[in-house]
Amino acid sequence: MPEPNVEGSGEIRQFLASIFERYGHDLRGYAVNSVQRRVRAALGRSGLSSVAELERRSLADPLFFAQVLPSLTVRVSEMFRDPTFFLTLRTRIVPLLRSYPRLNIWHAGCATGEEAYSVAILLAEEGLYDRCQIYATDVSAQALEQAKLGVYAADSLETFASNYRAAGGRHDIRRYVTEAYGRISICEPLRRNVVFFQHDLVGDYVFGEMDAVFCRNVMIYFGRELQERVLGKLADSLRPHGFLCLGRSEQLGRRGRAQFTDFAPPDRIYRRAP
């Protein structure tokens, strides 16, 4: 089967502009190379041969577009990904959070929910889970459905367990899941304080009064201008001295440097300037 034809940037720009106008999902600021890879993936999964066909079908059929959107935005996720980050979270941030009467946490771009549940496990082990509310959002309704269920392939468990141990986990990760029929399910008590809902980080409103915002491995797909705009939104959502957690390959730009101070730069953890 021939490889789908991903035309030049003009056709892709037109496709993204049409998607924004029709559905309100703003992908126009994504990095060009990332968009091209994702459009190619969407074409491959849909069986269509050109961006023009993908655009026509997406605009005419909202159900088809709902199936295409995850290909355009999907991010790889796993529990306790980048264990050293979670170890820093446990050893340096949690002690500061112990004095807070309530904790509000936002996972922006949560994908299928593994990171939100990882933080829930960590906070439960540190005795903070009962006083926290975790808001986990993503643009993909399909990803959120899996996140709400908290169900993952059982063959992921060894990777999850290895990451958990390296992140300073206090028990066996199997304490927090049930296994059946080739799947693992996050135990109900860990889902109780996690709320998942659809939210477009680029175009929608921001949350306020957050003590910590996790936006990890999301902005690497954005162009520089969009990165700066999103960083401004994340800053607006945080209380003074609140924590911003980015992915290992992500950097604060000029605007971010004016709004945040370093806390643990190797782990891309910053604090909102007062």
Looking at residue 1, its pLDDT comes to 41
Q: Which residue type sits at 244?
A: L
Give backbone dihedrals phi and psi of 118, rounded to 5 degrees, phi first.
-60, -45
What averages of pLDDT result for each successive group of 10 residues across the chain (274 residues)? 53 87 78 81 84 90 82 79 96 96 96 96 97 95 92 95 96 95 95 95 86 91 84 93 93 82 95 91
Q: Which two tokens stand for residue 176?
A: 């927090």
Three-state DSSP string of 163-223 = HHHHCCCCCCHHHHEEEECCEEEECHHHHCCEEEEECCCCCCCCCCCEEEEEECCCHHHEC
Are the C-beta atoms of residues 240 and 214 closer than 8 Å to each other?
no
Q: Which two tokens stand for residue 98?
A: 């112990």
- Residues 162 and 17: their CA atoms lie apart, in Å, by 42
Return the DSSP state at 80: T
Reported as half-sphere exposure (CB side, CA atoms, 13 A), residue 51 has a value of 22
Looking at residue 237, its pLDDT comes to 95
Looking at residue 65, its pLDDT comes to 84
Beta bridge partners of 255: none
Sequence-distant (≥ 6) Cβ neighbours of residue 194 within 8 angstroms: 113, 116, 117, 120, 134, 136
